[in-house]
Chain A
Amino acid sequence: MATTTTPAATPGRTKGTGKPAGPPGRRPRRSLLPYLLLAPAVVLELAIHVIPMLVGAWMSLLELTQFHIRDWSGAPFVGLDNYRVVLDVNSAAGAELLRSFRVTVIYTVLSVGLSWVLGTTAAVLLQRPFRGRAVLRALFLTPYALPVYTAVITWTFLFQRDTGLVNHVLVDQLNLLDDRPFWLIGDNSFVALLIVSIWRTWPFAFLCIMAGLQNIPDELYEAAAMDGAGFWRRLRAVTLPMLRPVNLVLLLVLFLWTFNDFNTPYVLFGGSAPAEADLISLHIYRSSFQTWDFGTGSAMSVALLLFLLLVTAGYLLLTNRRRNDA
């Protein structure tokens, strides 16, 4: 996930440090230093993100199959043909992509929404000091601290039909179900994926909101209490509005992470996810690497990138306008 923050680079900050800048004649040389310090980051950003992205965009215009991957210059230039194939919902590839897109949208909305609700609930409940609060906080953050692969592999064991703990508890111990359901294939695979995703994501929401809550002055709650506001009223009128800046960023980041999530479905299902849980990142992987058609895969990637840019821009525009209106 690409999240690069370089706050020190904004001109306002460097100007605003307010320190005396030495003899005026030497100023221009000194101002070179920040750029030099930033250079490694810029070089790496270019090498790791920007250039591969541009190469990906170029690949999407080529017929890049196994016959040409060794020497791209020999790959036929097909213009927008790859896009025509993947965006035409009447073609096989287009229909599959659309289905995968739908699954991903539902998955993202549910995962981000539920993670946010869980994170907020836990953070608010843990806002006031009580015995054992530190233990609970640490416990809640554990999934976030575990390495993704190890954690998700453990989930695949839990979800096994015959030997998994989930079915053991549901069927053998609680007797809630008669038949042992499948979790990693068929309809339930979506539920399994969602559970693992929320389990992994909500601690991050919890952490951010917990940090945000620290910044709300106690006086606001005291004043609200004096006005006779109960828990819900305080939550609605003080906590949530004060958390707005945190939530704006948090929801955007969660959306981007979840929509692009590759690790969870890949480890949970292997290279080929069931249709019910065929997230778009895995779908693109399969279209590129397993069928050796990198042109089509790149076209899907670029289309996805444009979609995410559009959503992000729309989101920022909307939330900024609201803030300006307020």
Chain B
Amino acid sequence: MSRRHLAILTATVLAAASLTACGSGEESGDSGKTLTYWASNQGASLEADKEILQPELDKFEQQTGIKVNVEVVPWSDLLNRLLAAATTGQGPDVVNIGNTWSASLQATGALVEFDDATLDKVGGKARFVPAALAAAGASGKPPAAVPLYSLAYALYYNKKSFADAGIAAPPTTWEELAQVGKKLTGDGKWGLAVEGANPSENAHHAFTFGQQYGGDWFDSAGKPSFDTPQNVAAVKRYIDLMAVDKIVNPSNAEYAQNQSVSDFANGKAAMLLWQAAGANLQSQNMAADAYGVAPVPFLASPPAGGKQVNSMVAGINIAVFKHTKNRDGALEFVKFMTSDAEQVALNKTYGSLPAVGTVAADPAFAADEQKVLAQTLGTSAAPLPQVPEESTFETLVGTAIKELFADAASGRPVTEDSVREKLTRAQRQMR
């Protein structure tokens, strides 16, 4: 072969290689023997999650012969990754989704619908806790997922700080919380820690406060109603914990990496509003008997229309992509993950609550923390609006609150007008 021919051959091979390179993407499990699973980050780290999940996945492989390749996706990336998978029809077979995204992802039409027949394949509708299943898609439509881990917000408090300040019991109203917070603030320590720059956390609190003030973020027609007087009052109440009560360290306005949990674990803050923080706190060397858990406070005198809600129905759902080439295997895996044994094992490790009723009474969930979470979920939690624009609401309202915290932290006044202006601006960005 002459040099010229060789050169031409090389060029052709290169061109062909570059073309085929464009075509190779992440393929979903195409044989009956493998599944790709994107898990959300529930434990102390992505690595820890992998170590927790792997033995369970091995069990599943033993039982069914189906191998599950798991990737733990950090929360900051998960929604974008899901969106990309929905758009391209490429990617995982089974995924964990934040339950508040259910209706948004449902609207893409990329997820398998859990109608009654499909629900029967994973054990039947009756297995699942009704409130948790209600947070798996828009009402009136078959759920786009089934619940996997159930969570709720609770108030975590440092027992020693409370004892030192002579506080006998955790606060049950926001007014009390502000009062004890002031007693706990000083000498470089603060009453409460918040995750001020994390839009999702902010939006969750905006929802709960909104419910207590009688506000709704979407009207009955599903249109955004961000800047109602109730919502303005609700958001202002939350910001005022920093701006007026001054029980939150202004630095919290830049927290978005769970620094508030660390501050609480390290004793820099005496209270924290969080979902199932126990496992995380203990991984940061806070002894289980060093903190107490109580329900999130209510308003002392709620305005007309105010609801007795002190948490969203929080949780993680498990969903199957329609593009999977192994739907039966994927549903088999969902059934396995929501089976009694796995529900006890995984929820116990993560400190969350089971999403199926059959194991609710298991001793694994008898600790104080889980009792408070269960009580909240059972009596005073409400699901976030299950509308397609929910994820946009979290982003826009959460960011508006982040900006308000920034104002409060830099000493700018946060007034009803400034809150309303931010919420109006957020609402105008909804289409």
Q: Check A272/B11 contact, CB under 8 A, given A66-B107, A182-B254, A290-B392.
A: no
Residues 190-215 (chain A) with a chain B CB within 8 angstroms: none
In the complex, which of the residues A36, A185, A270, A289 has the most CB atoms of chain B within 10 Å of its own CB atom?
A185
Q: Are A40 and B15 in contact (CB under 8 A)?
A: yes
B410 within 8 Å of A by Cβ? yes
A293 within 8 Å of B by Cβ? yes
**Nearest opposing residue in chain B for A291, CB measure:** B392
Complexed CA–CA distance, A92 and B421 (Å):
12
B130 to chain A, nearest CB (A): 27
- B77-104 CB mask vs A (1 if < 8 Å, else 0) is 0001001001101000000000000001
Q: Are A182 and B392 in contact (CB under 8 A)?
A: no
**Nearest opposing residue in chain A for B431, CB measure:** A293
13 new A-B contacts at CB < 8 Å, known A37-B11, A43-B19 = A32-B8, A33-B4, A44-B18, A71-B109, A162-B251, A184-B197, A184-B254, A185-B405, A271-B76, A271-B199, A274-B403, A274-B406, A290-B395
Q: Are B109 and A70 in contact (CB under 8 A)?
A: yes
Q: Are B392 and A292 in contact (CB under 8 A)?
A: yes
Q: How large is the interface on B (under 10, 10 to 19, 20 to 34, 35 or more residues)?
A: 35 or more
Residues 262-296 (chain A) with a chain B CB within 8 angstroms: 270-272, 274-275, 286, 289-293, 296
Q: Are A185 and B406 in contact (CB under 8 A)?
A: yes
Complexed CA–CA distance, A76 and B153 (Å):
41
Q: Check A291/B429 contact, CB under 8 A, given A43-B18, A43-B19, A67-B107.
A: yes
- A147-172 CB mask vs B (1 if < 8 Å, else 0) is 00000000000001110000000000
B108 within 8 Å of A by Cβ? yes
Residues from chain B with Cβ under 8 Å of A65 in the complex: 431
A261 within 8 Å of B by Cβ? no
A249 to chain B, nearest CB (A): 28
A186 within 8 Å of B by Cβ? yes
A235 within 8 Å of B by Cβ? no
Q: Which 7 A-B pairs have the closest CB atoms?
A: A92-B428, A36-B11, A185-B406, A40-B14, A39-B15, A290-B395, A272-B399
Select which of A43, A69, A71 is within 8 A of B15 by beta carbon.
Answer: A43
Select which of B8, B249, B398 is within 8 A of A36 by beta carbon.
Answer: B8
**Nearest opposing residue in chain A for B268, CB measure:** A162
Q: Are A39 and B11 in contact (CB under 8 A)?
A: yes
B168 within 8 Å of A by Cβ? no
Q: Are B89 and A70 in contact (CB under 8 A)?
A: yes
How many chain A residues touch B (Cβ–Cβ < 8 Å)? 40
A47 within 8 Å of B by Cβ? yes
Select which of A96, A161, A186 is within 8 A of B251 by beta carbon.
Answer: A161
Complexed CA–CA distance, A271 and B197 (Å):
10
A46 to chain B, nearest CB (A): 10
Select which of A67, A272, A289 is within 8 A of B199 by beta carbon.
Answer: A272
A30 within 8 Å of B by Cβ? yes
A252 within 8 Å of B by Cβ? no
**Nearest opposing residue in chain A for B249, CB measure:** A162
**Nearest opposing residue in chain B for A269, CB measure:** B197
Complexed CA–CA distance, A236 and B7 (Å):
50
Q: Are A47 and B22 in contact (CB under 8 A)?
A: yes
Residues from chain A with Cβ under 8 Å of B358 in the complex: none
Residues from chain A with Cβ under 8 Å of B256 in the complex: 270
Q: Are A185 and B425 in contact (CB under 8 A)?
A: no
Residues from chain A with Cβ under 8 Å of B11 in the complex: 33, 36-37, 39-40
**Nearest opposing residue in chain A for B7, CB measure:** A33
**Nearest opposing residue in chain A for B400, CB measure:** A272
Q: Are A30 and B199 in contact (CB under 8 A)?
A: no
- A31-62 CB mask vs B (1 if < 8 Å, else 0) is 01100110110011001000000000000000
Select which of B76, B83, B249, B406 is within 8 A of A270 by beta carbon.
Answer: B76
Residues from chain B with Cβ under 8 Å of A70 in the complex: 86-87, 89, 108-110
A238 within 8 Å of B by Cβ? no
Q: Check A291/B7 contact, CB under 8 A, given A43-B19, A66-B104, A70-B87.
A: no
Q: Check A92/B425 contact, CB under 8 A, given A291-B392, A292-B83, A292-B391.
A: yes
- List, sorted by A's number, 6 A–B pairs whose CB atoms are closer than 8 Å: A36-B15, A43-B18, A71-B109, A182-B409, A185-B405, A290-B392
B253 within 8 Å of A by Cβ? yes
B420 within 8 Å of A by Cβ? no
